[in-house]
């Protein structure tokens, strides 16, 4: 019980912070993707964040231009590591040391970037990847954690693994369980997160459920249900960890 509460608090804050851009929350976060036909210059993007009081940003990889533009902004940043890098980082401590040096330590200087999280992979357990990244996740986490410790950053920069909602399988939250083939990795992951003070992160895209099913309850999708359905969903998710 103590363990699930420990996980619950950061999870709730994270989901609320990153997934509810339209609610009057004191801290609002956005994903800054770069797959676009008309990319804005990074300084323009950071100016837009400031104008809109965006205080938290997730980058899908350590894009040097984005990170440079974020220097001195005070915006809290989650830096992502693409799934394709997991094998290398899982197999070499030298590679993880270099990754941390080039993509974290280089920016966490005075007047630099306020990097708070490193996302190790992006939804590496997605069923469409057929398990190809699963075995790299824990070794990559352990290598990166040691690299952060060697760089004296372990207390400040937390490692997370953004999970996909399809890691969870059930039509009803109250009957929830992770996909059976993920039980072992989820147990190891949660234990790692717990011992390092990191939140459990899950990417939830309520708009996809709305597009896919016209009966999907809108208040549920936008966390506005008077019955606090979203809280129940998250609690159920955590009970199966
Ligand atoms: C730092 O991150 C970038 C972007 O993901 C990557 O291309 C580069 O290889 C990383 N550096 C190291 C030393 O791994």
221 and 191 in a single domain? The answer is no
Q: Are 124 and 86 in contact (CB under 8 A)?
A: yes
* pTM of the full structure: 0.82
pLDDT at 120: 98
pLDDT digits (tens, 9 = 90+) for 100-109: 999 999 999 9
How high is the pLDDT of residue 6?
33
Q: Do 120 and 216 have their domain in common?
A: no
Give catalytic status of residue 224 as yes or no.
no
Tokens at residue 179, please? 């996909």
How far is the centre of ligand 1, averaged over its atoms, from the C-alpha of 98 (Å)? 8
Residues 198, 211, single domain; the answer is no
Q: Is 238 inside any structural domain? A: yes
Residues 78 and 50 both lie in one domain:
yes
- 110 and 229, same structural domain? no
Domain span holding position 239? 206-241
Q: Tell me, yes or no, whether 119 and 94 share the same domain.
A: yes
Active-site annotation holder among 3, 25, 61, 123: 123
Residue 1 included in any domain:
no
Q: Is residue 57 part of a domain?
A: yes
Q: Whose CA is nearest to atom 1 of ligand 1?
A: 103
- Calpha distance 42→65 (Å, rounded): 6
Same domain, 158 and 122: yes
Give the 3-state secondary structure percentages of the chain, helix then strand then coil, rounded to 5. 50, 10, 35
Give whole-number Cα distances, 145 to 98, 158, 190, 192, 235, in Å.
13, 8, 15, 10, 28
Whether residues 110 and 80 fall in one domain = yes
Bridge-based pairing of strands 76-81 and 163-164 is: unpaired
What is the domain-level CATH number for residue 48?
3.20.20.80
Q: Assess whether 21 and 103 both reside in one domain.
A: yes
Tell me the angle at which helices 183-196 and 2-19 cross, rounded to the nearest 10 degrees. 90
CA atoms in the 13 A half-sphere facing the CB of 144: 33
Question: Three-state DSSP class for 214?
Answer: coil
How many domains does the chain fold into?
A: 2
In a domain, 175, yes or no: no
What token pair was written down for 129? Answer: 């990847």
188 and 157 share one domain: yes
Which of 25, 32, 34 has the alpha carbon at shortest distance from 53? 25
* 128 and 214 assigned to the same domain: no
Distance CA 150, CA 133 (A): 26
Index of the ligand 1 atom closest to the CA of residue 88 = 14
- The two tokens of residue 46 are 């950071």
State the distance from the centre of ligand 1 to the C-alpha of 63, rounded, in angstroms.
8
DSSP-assigned states of every residue in 162-227: PEEGGGB--SSGGG--B-GGGHHHHHHHHHHHHHHTPPP-EE--HHHHHHH-TTS-HHHHTT--TT
pLDDT in 10s for each residue of the chain, 241 residues: 333 333 333 333 344 444 444 444 456 789 998 888 899 999 999 999 999 999 999 999 999 999 999 999 999 999 999 999 999 999 999 999 999 999 999 999 999 999 999 999 999 999 999 999 999 999 999 999 999 999 999 999 999 999 988 888 876 767 778 899 999 999 999 999 999 999 999 888 877 878 888 888 777 777 665 554 444 555 444 443 3
CB-based pocket (< 6 A), ligand 1:
61-62, 82, 98-99, 102-103
| Joined tokens for residue 4 | 């699930």
Residues 155 and 55 in one domain: yes
Helix axis angle, 2-19 relative to 229-239, nearest 10°? 140
2 in any annotated domain: no
């Amino acid at each position: 019980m103590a363990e699930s509460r420990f996980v619950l608090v950061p999870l709730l804050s994270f989901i609320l912070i990153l997934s509810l851009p339209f609610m009057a929350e004191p801290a609002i976060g956005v994903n800054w993707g770069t797959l676009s036909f008309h990319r804005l210059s990074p300084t323009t993007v950071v100016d837009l964040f400031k104008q809109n009081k965006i205080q938290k940003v997730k980058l899908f990889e350590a894009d040097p231009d984005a990170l440079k533009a974020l220097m001195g902004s005070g915006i809290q940043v989650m830096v992502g590591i693409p799934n394709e890098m997991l094998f290398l980082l899982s197999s070499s401590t030298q590679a993880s040391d270099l990754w941390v040096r080039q993509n974290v330590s280089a920016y966490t200087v005075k007047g630099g970037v306020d990097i708070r999280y490193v996302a190790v992979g992006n939804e590496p357990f997605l069923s469409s990847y057929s398990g190809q990244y699963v075995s790299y996740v824990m070794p990559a986490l352990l290598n990166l954690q040691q690299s952060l410790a060697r760089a004296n950053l372990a207390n400040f920069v937390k490692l997370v693994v953004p999970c996909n909602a399809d890691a969870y399988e059930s039509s009803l939250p109250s009957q929830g369980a992770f996909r059976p083939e993920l039980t072992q990795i989820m147990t190891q992951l949660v234990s790692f997160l717990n011992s390092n003070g990191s939140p459990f992160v899950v990417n939830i895209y309520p708009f996809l459920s709305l597009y896919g099913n016209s009966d999907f309850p809108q208040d549920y999708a936008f966390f506005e249900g008077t019955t606090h359905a979203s809280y129940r969903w998250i609690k159920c998710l955590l009970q199966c960890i």
